[in-house]
Structure 1
């Protein structure tokens, strides 16, 4: 099978394609024939953090495809069987023609939904759902979403609208994204470099992190909640939170999937229902051949994507 991996060496960073053996599903796992791979920001950042001389590393991501084999003890226990179409989060060797998924991070794709649409919806939609839950967002409150043109951001905007937010504001890196995010429900648009983000806000959902955490905290209203869900790190001055009586909350969907599986399943059912009803629309920037994974990473690194970037084997 074709597989894409990453290596640092010779003064350059390389995503390279190679032939590899088809993996085998272990206990609690499924082997799928991959039809689409969703590129995630954490994976892109992981690549950039590697050092000179690093061994080739596997790349994680969201995948969708067809089950071709099940690991020991799967059939008859979870109901997953060969031939079913599924999607899930793969933490190793997702950039490949075949991938292994843990059943805890896998869900069935409803009839009539394509693989590309599934990888654009499921993980990003669950994160968007989760950050709104973590923020305890109430109808009528003001909500600011950073990285609003990203896969998660586009769905977070729509969740805020569907939840009855009084004002939904999108924060983006450049003005050329304004029409795009307005089309997904944003009432207003601000740029990261603006001196005034138009606050204060009751809720801020931050998918960027790093240097943006400071201005995000300063844009909170009294009693406001900032939910940080990016892999970008960053620090916050405790005094800024104390000054506003505000809260900083961290969120990670993997913690919900593994620690609260019943809640994860309920959110997943709700997600498909909202999608079927047209309340949540996916946005796919481009479908890119698997062998051109470097181009997909560049789109995200340069903040040029509008929605999900998808690799297609």
Structure 2
């Protein structure tokens, strides 16, 4: 099978295609023939910032080829079923292994690319919004609003009855795109005034933007950080506003609260079927051109999900 491997060559990051053996499904796992792979910002950052080779993780969608030991019963998956889920290693390949705990069936009529754009990003958007304890009538700011998670977070905020939903993006070229997905207003990261204060901020960027985001919070506001960008916050800024900074990680829900995770997945598909949530795919890129996909995200040029297609 074709697989993408990462190497560090003289300080340069290199992604190249190679032939590899098809992996085997272990206990509680599925082997799938991959039809689409979602490229995520955390993976791109790991490649760029780490000094060691990275094994690519990511969302994948495809058809079950084989089920490992223990995948039985009514809730089990069978060969031929179409599924999507999170793969923690060697996701950039023609075949991948998924844990059944991180896998969901793709409804009839939904394509693999659409599934990859919806499920993981939608779950993160839902979880971050839930962590913020957002209430109808509040104001919401979403950073990285043109990203796969950001586009769905905007829609969750609108569906949740937010009084005002503002998208924060890196470029004015993304303004019409995020407005079409529900943003009432658009601000740029470099703007001196983010037009706050906001009751809720969903931050998918981190780093240097974390400080300005905290300063845009209203009294009693909540900022949910779900990115891999890090950043530093002065405690005084939170005390001044009586505000909260909340970290959210989707994997903690998937492994620690499986019943809640499954309920969120079901609701996600229902909202998508009802037209409440729309996916946005920037481009489908051949698997062998993974480096180009990473460059799109690193340069903040994507409008929605970037997907690799074997």
Change (3 A) 1:53 1:120: closer
Q: TM-score, normalised by structure 1?
A: 0.97
What SS class does the counterpart of residue 267 from structure 1 fall into?
A: helix
- TM superposition shift of 1:22: 0.2
Do the aligned residues in 2 keep the contact of 1:157 with 1:185 (CA within 8 Å)?
yes
- TM superposition shift of 1:76: 2.2
Q: Could you report, residue by residue, the CA deviation over 1:103-157 in whole angstroms, capped at 9, with x for unpaired residues?
A: 1110000000000000000000001100110000000100000000000000000
Q: Which residue of 2 aligns with 1:58?
A: 55
Q: Could you report, residue by residue, the CA deviation over 1:20-76 in whole angstroms, capped at 9, with x for unpaired residues?
A: 0000001111000000000011100010xxx99966432111000000001111122
* Deviation >3 Å, runs of 4+: 51-57
Q: Which runs of 5+ in 1 are unaligned?
A: none
- TM superposition shift of 1:13: 1.2
- Greater displacement, 243-252 / 7-16: 7-16
For residues 254 and 134 of structure 1, the distance between their equivalents in structure 2, rounded to whole angstroms, comes to: 14
Change (3 A) 1:281 1:53: closer
What SS class does the counterpart of residue 140 from structure 2 fall into?
A: strand
For residues 57 and 238 of structure 1, the distance between their equivalents in structure 2, rounded to whole angstroms, comes to: 34
For residues 154 and 115 of structure 1, the distance between their equivalents in structure 2, rounded to whole angstroms, comes to: 19
Aligned residues: 310
For residues 97 and 157 of structure 1, the distance between their equivalents in structure 2, rounded to whole angstroms, comes to: 33
What SS class does the counterpart of residue 49 from structure 2 fall into?
A: coil
What SS class does the counterpart of residue 56 from structure 2 fall into?
A: coil
Do the aligned residues in 1 keep the contact of 2:46 with 2:54 (CA within 8 Å)?
no
Q: Which residue of 2 aligns with 1:29?
A: 29
Q: Could you report, residue by residue, the CA deviation over 1:82-104 in whole angstroms, capped at 9, with x for unpaired residues?
A: 11000000010000000000111
For residues 50 and 182 of structure 2, the distance between their equivalents in structure 1, rounded to whole angstroms, comes to: 45
Q: Which residue of 1 aligns with 2:103?
A: 106
- TM superposition shift of 1:5: 1.1
- TM superposition shift of 1:188: 0.2
Instruction: Please tell me the root mean square deviation across aligned C-alpha atoms, in Å.
Output: 1.3
For residues 53 and 206 of structure 1, the distance between their equivalents in structure 2, rounded to whole angstroms, comes to: 23
For residues 50 and 221 of structure 2, the distance between their equivalents in structure 1, rounded to whole angstroms, comes to: 45
- TM superposition shift of 1:221: 0.2
Q: Which residue of 1 aligns with 2:11?
A: 11
Do the aligned residues in 2 keep the contact of 1:89 with 1:123 (CA within 8 Å)?
yes
Do the aligned residues in 2 keep the contact of 1:11 with 1:52 (CA within 8 Å)?
no
Do the aligned residues in 2 keep the contact of 1:9 with 1:54 (CA within 8 Å)?
no
For residues 109 and 32 of structure 1, the distance between their equivalents in structure 2, rounded to whole angstroms, comes to: 13
Change (3 A) 1:56 1:151: same
